[in-house]
Amino acid sequence: MTTLSPARPVADSRRLPAMPEASNATLATVGGLALLAIALGLFLPDRTVGGDMPGMPSTHYMGLLAASQPWNLLLFMALPVVLAETLAITEIALLFGPKPAWVRTLNRVAGLLAGPVMLGILLHLIRYAVAPLTVNGGWRGPADVIAVLAYLAGAVPMMGITLVELGLLGDDERSRWRLHAVFVAAFLVVAHIAMIFGMLDPSVMGWQDPASTHLMPDGTQMPGMHH
């Protein structure tokens, strides 16, 4: 009589690499970067001024990117998007099996930087854009509000990614990678919402430019209405 031996488990070649536990040095480094980001975000000179485009109504999102070219574009658009795209591409690569160690290292470095970078941006824009626009009634309609708030909402998933990398979120490897992927996807969604509404003419959603109410039919400004 023959007996059947139990089947041996098959190794999953597509298993994602383990997320290393954050060392004290890593925690201290990221904590220092976060404190630096807070200080820079709150005390750097206002980066939101000087972005108005004469004769072309636009959201404050577009005004922010247009100001201080090319530095604002690099800081507020290129840097967060490059970090998020790096995370997305390296995670997709890791899903397809073992990869060189530098792929996971690149993914980890981008994840550790993502939170401090967006924390600094969040605090800077709350202080110099959201607070004064709200207090002074300077919002340019729903498109303006959606664009700016969607952009700022991107700080939440980016900080979540850093917390996952530090081992502060997620109970095990599977849940950590799941959170990692969800946070990357969430950032890309809100970032694209910000781009779409940010590029929209705010008058499409009902905003009226106060300056346009003083224009003559030929487009010139009425005498005595120069502000």
Identify whether 221 is part of a domain: no
Identify whether 45 is part of a domain: yes
pTM (two decimals): 0.78
What is the tens place of the pLDDT at every residue in 84-95? 999 999 988 888
Domain hosting 93: range is 24-205
Residues 35-58: b if buried by 16+ CB within 10 A, e if exposed = eebbeebeeeeebbeebeeeeebb
Query: How does residue 3 score in pLDDT terms, banded at 50, 70 and 90?
Result: low
What's the rounded mean pLDDT across residues 137-153? 93
What's the rounded mean pLDDT across residues 165-187? 90
pLDDT over threshold 50, residue 11: no
Identify whether 15 is part of a domain: no
What's the rounded mean pLDDT across residues 121-137? 93
Identify whether 196 is part of a domain: yes
Count other C-beta atoms under 10 Å from residue 169's C-beta: 16
Query: How does residue 33 score in pLDDT terms, banded at 50, 70 and 90?
Result: confident
What's the rounded mean pLDDT across residues 119-138? 93
Identify whether 132 is part of a domain: yes
**Does 43 or 127 have the greater pLDDT score?**
127
Is 222 exposed, middle or buried, given 0-12, 13-18 or 19+ CB atoms closer than 10 A?
A: exposed
- pLDDT for position 212: 61
Task: Name the DSSP class of 43.
Answer: H
- 136: Cα separation from own chain's centroid: 26
